[in-house]
Amino acid sequence: MQMPPSGAPSYLDGQFLVAMPGMTDERFARSVIYVCAHSADGAMGIIVNKPVTDLSMPDLLLQLDVAQEADAIRLRERVGHMPVLMGGPVEGRRGFVLHTDDFHIDQSTLIIDEGICLTATVEILRAIASGAGPASAVLALGYAGWQAGQLESEIMANGWLNCPADPALIFNTDLDAKYERALRGIGIDPAMLSGSVGRA
């Protein structure tokens, strides 16, 4: 990974944001967000640990006519384990697929970091449905977005911790365990975290 030149801003593409216990926005409480893009203009990320509770991947593929009802059984075997995530409050009806870099669509797949890509077209869903998609993937509806300077302000206000992303955690299907695993991955015991900034 290339380091930014000395004095250049440090951006968080390819990192996790882990919500601090004092996160006041309920939409992001106990969230683990994978940052897909971060620049002076703002940031965009996908929440990787919150499921859409009333929708399964096979049902979604059938609803979108990506797969046929006759393939429903094969579809459940192939993608039944793959959760549909609530990726964030922005554009909640739009799908985003985070996936391993063994799958690429020209002009559509964004390489985020080593081994992780983002594709937001129906073609990747067709590939997943047919068994020709990436080795690992998660589908998220919507995303989290920040305007210029907003994410930096939230981090300074003790809203988020940031740390290197663990691809295994992104694609792990045990969503309930991701928050604590992300914290433990950076050496933090969740029980020891305080919701407020430390004071002497």
Give the integer Cα–Cα distance in Å for 153 and 65.
Answer: 42
- Residue 137 confidence class, pLDDT cut points 50, 70, 90: very high
Range of weakest confidence among 77-86, 113-122, 160-169: 77-86
Q: Is the pLDDT of residue 191 over 90?
A: no
- Tell me how far apart the alpha carbons of residues 66 and 89 are, in angstroms, rounded to a whole number: 24
Question: For residues 147-166, b (16+ Cβ closer than 10 Å) or e, as one string?
Answer: eeeebbebeeebbbbbbebb
- Give the phi and the psi of residue 165 in degrees, each rounded to 5: -80, 145
* pTM (2 d.p.): 0.88
User: What does the pLDDT read at residue 70?
Assistant: 66
90 forms beta bridges with: 143
Whole-angstrom distance, CA of residue 6 vs CA of residue 11: 13
- Cα-Cα-Cα-Cα torsion 147, 152, 153, 155, nearest 10 degrees, comes to 130
Distance CA 86, CA 68 (A): 24
Mean pLDDT of all residues in 33-39: 97
pLDDT at 198 over 70: no
141 half-sphere exposure, CB direction, 13 A CA radius = 15
| Residue 43 confidence (pLDDT) above 60 | yes
User: Does pLDDT of 195 surpass 70?
Assistant: no
How confident is the model at residue 8, as a pLDDT? 41
pLDDT band at 119 (very low <50, low <70, confident <90, very high): very high
Q: Per residue in 52-109, pLDDT tens? A: 988 888 888 888 888 777 676 777 777 878 889 999 999 998 999 999 999 999 999 9
Residue type, 175: L
Would the pLDDT of 45 be above 80? yes
More confident residue, 195 or 79: 79
Q: Residue 124 — pLDDT band, cuts 50, 70, 90?
A: very high
Q: Is the pLDDT of residue 200 over 70?
A: no
Question: Over pLDDT 90: what percentage of the chain?
Answer: 64
Residue tagged 């045990």 (tokens): 174
Helices 72-79, 122-130: crossing angle, 10 deg rounding: 100
pLDDT tens readout for residues 170-181: 999 999 999 999
